[in-house]
Amino acid sequence: MSAAGVPIIEGYHGEDQSDAKLQSEAARIGYPVMIKAVRGGGGKGMRIAHSEAEFHEQLESARREARKSFNDDVMLIEKFVENP
């Protein structure tokens, strides 16, 4: 989409799913961020981290719900836009 000039929300959709990598990408993107289950739907497996201090707790919560709902805990991180 971005190659076609369509504006996209900055994010991380990579294969490295380690806590450290996801937190590093969240810091690069800038808080607040949306933590989303790749296989999600209906709002399940989605959490907002407003700061680095709450990132790990929100990540673990999103992963637990994603595993339970979708049997998969792969996450993506996107910039959360509070006031578009």
pLDDT at 67: 96
Query: Tell me, what's the pLDDT at 82?
Result: 87
Cα 63 to chain center, whole Å? Answer: 10
Residue 9, pLDDT score? 92
Q: Please name which of 70, 30, 73, 69 lies closest in space to residue 50, comparing C-alpha atoms.
A: 30
Q: What is the pTM of this model?
A: 0.89
User: pLDDT (tens digit, 9 = 90+) per residue, 21-35?
Assistant: 999 999 999 999 999
pLDDT score recorded for residue 84: 72
Cα separation, 41 vs 10, whole angstroms: 20
Instruction: Confirm if 48 and 81 have CB atoms less than 8 A apart.
Output: no
Domains of the chain as residue ranges with CATH: 10-79 (3.30.1490.20)
Give the type of residue at 34.
Answer: M
- Give the number of other CB atoms < 10 A from CB of residue 3: 5
pLDDT(63) > 90: yes
